[in-house]
Amino acid sequence: MKFVGFKMIFIIALSLMGSVVNSKETSEFKLPPNFNPTRYELDINTYLEDKFMFEGLATIFVTCIEATNTIVLHSNSLNIDNESVSVIDTFGFLFPVNSTYSDPNKDLMYVSSTEKFKPGDKYVLTIPFSGNITDQLAGYYKSSYVDKESNQTRWLAVTQFEPADARRAFPCFDEPEYKATFKIFLGHKKGLTSISNMKFMKQINCSLKPDYVIDEFEESVPMSTYLVAYMVSDFVYTETNSGYDQVKFRIISRKDAVNQTKFAINVGPKVLKYYEDYFDEKFPLQKQDMAAIPDFSAGAMENWGLVTYRETELLIDPDVATIYNVHGVAEVIAHELAHQWFGNLVTMKWWTDLWLNEGFATYVAARGVDYLYPEWNSFQVETVQNFLRVLDLDSLQSSHPVSVAVGHPDEIAQIFDTISYTKGSYLLHMMNTFLGEDTFKQGIRNYIHKHKFANAEQDDLWSSLTEEAHRQGTLDKNLTVKQIMDTWTLQTGYPVLNVVRNYSAGTVTLSQERYLTNKSNGTNNKSCWWIPITMTTSKDFNQTNAKSWLNCENNNLTTPLAKDNEWVIYNMQIAGLYRVLYDTRNWMSIISTLNDPTKYETIPMLNRVQLIFDSLSFSQVGDLDYEITFQLLKYLKHEKEYAPWLAAFHGLAPINNLLKRTPNHAMFQNYMQRMLSSVYSKFGNMNGQTEGFEKINFKNIVTAEACGHQIKNCTQQALDLFRKWMKTIDPDNNNILPIELKPVIYCQALKCGGVDEWNFLWERYQRSNLGHEKESILYALGCSSRKLLLQRYLNWSLDKSIIRKQDAYTVFYSVAKNDAGFSVAKDFLYRKIADISKYYRPRGDHVGRYVNVIGSQMKTKEELGEIQTFIDISSGHLKGADLVINQTIETIKRNTEWTSKFSNTIVNYMVQ
């Protein structure tokens, strides 16, 4: 599954996702190991428009593992016909059922007998059920759209089961380890169509309901319940064969969006073939459907044979889309298709190892996009983005391990976050660099071949990689991947490598400790990692395989280093996930090289990224004088690459955030204007043509920062272009704005403009048929400086008839991150918390995001007390959000500490 982040390229913001405190995998929330399901037959009738409900019959073939009187399975919000529940034994005889009851607090259903079920015996459990097709975007839910030709609302029903919502659609053993085959029959009204995981077989008329038909689908391969999928709609499809084998590809969408499916139908088969070669394993199904859903809570979902997407993640019009949109759709398609092997074919035993699914899909998706578009250099760009993102989020005490124990379903939902996805991905990248590409790829292939159609744990992956590394000789025989990687996946956080040189003795001493951004929490010297050590004192930055290791046994390592070396730099090409803190003399030698326009490129771009970001981060926590950091940043006046500037903007964003709404913010604005002047002069013409993925992103981010920091030429250009567009005939089909800069221009025009500009853009939102365009507009509408407009906009966000439920948080986030909107959004949250909580039920983690985007901008003890009081009073509305709340509180404490130490002194270092 691809979770939805804020991909607005013009926003550099710290976004803290949900985290998890230590939890125990108790049996309290897991099924007892008494039965294994082997096969399901699902007969489901769907009723749309008139009553929005479904009814069905689940026939489950089970094998008894341990003697018991009771079958325990999952059910949530279903109406069970208890009197008709039956069990048949091996001989076809009815097995006595004396009671059937449910425990709604644990989502459990119990079927009890007066006789014991015997180990080894097989039984058939039959359960009639019904339920409502809700608008909760979970389970079996409804979505809608307006047909342009008839102007009528059309309804559809679709599933979203990950992580634990299959139980909302049918009674089942709803845990990933319980794999079974599924035979599905879908009843629906004539004129609609149905799709499911497997190929359609035949359609029969329903004798009891003349207006209804029943579609039968082939029996599935063994899979977990969270991967079951079906949909009833009037959608149409674009079809093609993969061109490489017999896999039939279809892109399924509303008919008004068919012209936006060509990109996906071209990319999908190519990346599927790439994965077949990469994993050395054929795709096991005969068809692959990919459906664009108007209302969808996540970004996409990897259901086997029927991948479902938010419209913005699958549909695209190449003529008007930005290159960022194109990259985003390619990446999400690559992510979901990677899951067909890592997640679907081989599935984690329990959600503890969710990162095996999501981290691997994220990592391999970046490789897939790089394969499709090698000219983009997107793998390197994504490496930088992931590095920056993980180091930020994982530096809090309240972060969580990549492999994290979870129990209650609320906890499961909250680990679909940056740690599982992005940190997991980066750790795989790190392994690839120290094991080598050949070892890593073959180890992964061995793992898949060994565990396909079954379940596995991270130790199984470590075992396959170790075996292959020892076979190829890329890892010392006395060392295992588990020994190294458990320190990275079972511990929270990451290390800082302390580098201290003794210049007179000609030595260097290395040590490590956990990096924390809140120094008031102290340091955790008990944490230690197996750190792959790479270093250079010259121009050779290409040796990314570890020559040595810093570990718990030699955590204070002194080695020779020639006295005459100008500087030493560690972590070649940021191959390892750690920061590096040098002594002052070494920093100054590096700065001397960087500030020489003829020498700075002798330090490769990826290491320049780390030097920029580490120095800003170390200064933020007081480990490095800000004077040194601002001396380093001076070199940017001759930096020509996108990634170092991205690192600089990312690292400076916290300073901007913490100086907002203070007298010193004007000084920071002046500093940013001076720093940007040289690079902005290269991109200052908004109508100028720029080619290439990195160059376009470079122009976009520089322009966004220039406008954001009120460089007059930038804001005026944006407003002038927008107002010129307002005067064009047929502005919906004649958008004269430069395509790549539309998001920036929209936001600046709304910020500087008034009611007319807001109403004009809102009308464009209502008329647009393009998901990416609507997404950009939604965000931009929150950029307005008019508080009355923002208040109305926030109220609209909780009205599904105006703004789709999936987009409500986008509205809130955009208003909250707006200087003029922060107090408006905070007041809205405080007043409307009951309504927000009710709106998102049962997803409490969504509510936590609202608190976080407000809290992460707070920076005083008074504000901390204020939001803590709000949290205490509103605890009943924050159920399921407690983990991100803890992270928010820690962030405010960190902000408060920085404000007291640096807010009045940092301006002294901004004078150039």
Residue 119, preceding peptide bond in cis (omega within 30° of 0): no
| Interatomic CA distance for residues 840 and 666, integer angstroms | 39
Between the two ends of the chain, the Cα-to-Cα distance in Å is 47
| Interatomic CA distance for residues 761 and 783, integer angstroms | 12
| Interatomic CA distance for residues 745 and 741, integer angstroms | 6
Tokens of 755: 């009611």
User: Does an H or E element contain 766, and which?
Assistant: helix 755-767
Annotation: binding site: 335, 339, 358
Annotation: binding site for Zn(2+): 335, 339, 358
| Residue in the structure block whose two tokens are 């080894």 | 120
| Residue in the structure block whose two tokens are 């490129």 | 601
What are residue 40's DSSP bridge partners?
Answer: 60, 182
Q: What single string gives the DSSP state of each residue in 800-866?
A: TTTS-GGGHHHHHHHHHTSTTTHHHHHHHHHHHHHHHHHHHTT-HHHHHHHHHHHHTT--SHHHHHH
User: Does an H or E element contain 485, and which?
Assistant: helix 481-489
Q: For residue 81, how far is the Cα from the chain centroid?
A: 39
Q: For residue 235, how far is the Cα from the chain centroid?
A: 27
> Rounded to 10 degrees, what is the CA torsion of 600, 603, 604, 607?
-110
Residue type, 407: G
Cβ–Cβ < 8 Å for 513, 498 = yes
Tokens of 31: 């099924």
Q: Which of 401, 359, 371, 390 is nearest to 576 (CA)?
A: 390
Residue 681 has φ and ψ, to the nearest 5°, of: -60, -25
| Interatomic CA distance for residues 651 and 616, integer angstroms | 6
Cβ–Cβ < 8 Å for 207, 139 = no
| Residue in the structure block whose two tokens are 């319940």 | 225
Cβ–Cβ < 8 Å for 814, 746 = no
CB atoms within 10 A of CB 767: 12
How far CA 67 is from CA of 34, 116, 178, 179, in Å, comes to 7, 6, 18, 21
Residue-wise over 285-304: b if at least 16 C-beta within 10 A, else e?
A: bebbbbbbbbbbbbbbbbbb
Residue 885 has φ and ψ, to the nearest 5°, of: -65, -45
> Rounded to 10 degrees, what is the CA torsion of 148, 152, 158, 163?
80
Ramachandran assignment for 493, one of left (phi > 0), alpha (psi -120 to 50 degrees), beta (any other): left
Catalytic choice (336, 694, 705, 775): 336
866 part of the active site: no
| Interatomic CA distance for residues 518 and 524, integer angstroms | 12
Tokens of 883: 């983990």
| Interatomic CA distance for residues 70 and 97, integer angstroms | 9
| Interatomic CA distance for residues 772 and 753, integer angstroms | 23
CB-based contacts of 745: which residues, under 8 Å, 6+ apart?
686, 718, 721, 722, 737, 738
Which active-site residues does the annotation give? 336
